[in-house]
Structure 1
Amino acid sequence: MESSPEFPLESQPELPPEPPREPLLTLPGALTAYIALLAVIHGVRMLLPFDIDDLVIQIFGFIPKRYDSTLLDVTFPGGTGAKVWTFVTYSLLHANLSHIGFNVLWLLPFGSALARRFGTLRFYLFMAVTAAAGALAHFVTHEHAVAPMIGASASVSGTMAAAIRFAFVKGSFLSFSRGDADAAARVPALSLMHALRNGRVLGFLAVWFGVNIIFGVGSIAIGAEGATVAWQAHIGGFFAGLVLFSLFDPVPRIAADAADASSQDVSTRD
């Protein structure tokens, strides 16, 4: 005689469903498309003859000397139009694969959070504005430079600066109690004044400026004397991202923000 199971099938207790596992790194579509664009552009350039690739850099790279009104006998490729588009297009060109790799490495955490927060259109506009800010900073400090500057590092620096306005807030992606990726990117941001009084933000700023000034990895100026780091462009993009963040931020204002490391309330973001 067969024994009956202790619990009939229909009355056996059900185990709670396992929560969905979030991948360690998921990229928003806007950032994925941006990285793919950088890779495609560089891949196509690698197939070009050297002289044609050099012409591409001359047309789309940022050359401060291009804006020198005293030039009478020097004509740069691209004409008048290049004086406008190169403020952004230089950021889509890179010297080599390691150059792209460094930029992408920093974009993965900071760019992902910002793309989720801003949405596609605002994210791309933000990248263009910070690229232009980096070019302007490079122009001011290298007014007569003939070497073209290329690289996305000014925009990357801008994303890092913008992200730290909310990165350390409770629930965000660099806090001790973060939520899922989308929730972490939508926490209320610190005002600029509160961000500049936050210990973690100040620590991040100190390390970032120190690394960029001493070592500087990113935007490269290509010229006859070799490659150098355009660290002033990094600072221009970073400063623009930090200050202009609120103009792009779609997250509604609230009466108070909660900092991750403190129980004190902070005022509304600017």
Structure 2
Amino acid sequence: MARNSRRPPIINAPPWVTALALVLLAAHGGRVLLSAGLQDALLWNVALIPERFWGWLGASLPPGAAEPYSNAFSAIAPVFTIAFVHSDWVHVGLNAAMLLGVGKPVYEYLERTRGRGRNRSGELFLFLFFMSVAGGSLAHLAANYPIGQPAIGASGGVSGLIAIVLMAQQGAAPRLASRPFIAGSVVFLVANLILAFIGPSMLGAGIAWQAHVGGYVAGALAFRFLVWRREGVAA
């Protein structure tokens, strides 16, 4: 009897999810190959730097603060590009691994509930991810007015996907006010507060926990919006 020679894929995730995780890894790999000067220049333009953002909006900054962004594009772009820069391989590796883990059930839920018409699951997945990234960035900016530590990483986007996984477990009609989602949200918040407390001593770096919470909330709201649109079309 012939033996099945097919092997399971190394990464068991949908192509859109896998591609995004690989882009995060490739972006970090490309950055570390740059000279120190070019890395600094890159971070200056793509990392989220609160004082540059608030200075662009006209906030009064203390002496010695970083130069404000010069235009709307350079101020708004880091709200999203923050996802493509990480501090080290551990940072990007952890985010990529979590993205694969929580991105798969989110993408599969979108495929199951997309309804008729062409498959837009990949586009919707990216929409949810980047809305979560933006929510995390805005929360970090709000918590660091008018000056604070720069933020980098895709953790806001991953946090949003975690919220969506919890909501998707409710089935075809997820609700923000459900008991399981509220309970999961409390656990998520407490875990991030603990990380914020022990992060500097345990990991050697601060944890932008506000960005995690902001991404979580934004992901849940964006997902509920998509469900609301689907329910409206079905009606």
Which bin holds the TM-score, normalised by the shorter protein? 0.7 to 0.9
Count of residues in Structure 1 that have an aligned counterpart in Structure 2: 208
1:1-270 residue pairs with structure 2 within 5 A?
26-66=12-52, 67-68=54-55, 69=58, 70=60, 76=67, 79-80=70-71, 81-118=73-110, 119-167=121-169, 169=170, 187-193=171-177, 195=178, 197-198=179-180, 201-216=181-196, 227-249=205-227, 253=231
SS at match of 2:220: helix
Structure showing greater radius of gyration is 1
The answer to whether the 8 A contact 1:90-1:151 is kept is: yes
The answer to whether the 8 A contact 2:159-2:215 is kept is: yes
- Matching residue's letter, 1:191: R
Deviation (angstroms), 1:238: 0.4
Deviation (angstroms), 1:26: 1.8
**Structure 1, 130-139 or 76-85: larger mean CA deviation:** 76-85
Pick closer, same or farther for the CA change 1:24–1:190 going to 2, 3 Å: farther
Pick closer, same or farther for the CA change 1:24–1:227 going to 2, 3 Å: closer
Calculate percent identity across the aligned residue pairs.
Answer: 28
Structure 2 counterpart of 1:265: none
The answer to whether the 8 A contact 1:61-1:93 is kept is: yes
**CA separation in 1, counterparts of 2:22 and 2:228?**
25
Larger relative strand fraction: 1
The answer to whether the 8 A contact 2:139-2:210 is kept is: yes
The one-character-per-residue Cα deviations of 1:98-129 (angstroms, maximum 9, x if unpaired) are 11122123222211111233311111111111
The answer to whether the 8 A contact 2:106-2:168 is kept is: no
Deviation (angstroms), 1:77: 8.1
**Structure 1, 105-114 or 90-99: larger mean CA deviation:** 105-114
The one-character-per-residue Cα deviations of 1:214-248 (angstroms, maximum 9, x if unpaired) are 1159xx9xxxxx84111001000101112221223
The answer to whether the 8 A contact 1:158-1:241 is kept is: yes
**CA separation in 2, counterparts of 1:116 and 1:155?**
17
**Structure 1, 203-212 or 228-237: larger mean CA deviation:** 203-212
**CA separation in 2, counterparts of 1:113 and 1:40?**
23
Q: Which stretches in structure 1 are left out of the alignment for 5+ residues?
A: 1-17, 170-186, 221-225, 255-270
**CA separation in 2, counterparts of 1:73 and 1:215?**
30
**CA separation in 2, counterparts of 1:228 and 1:37?**
25
Deviation (angstroms), 1:252: 5.4
SS at match of 1:229: coil
Pick closer, same or farther for the CA change 1:54–1:77 going to 2, 3 Å: farther
The answer to whether the 8 A contact 1:90-1:152 is kept is: yes
RMSD after superposition: 3.2
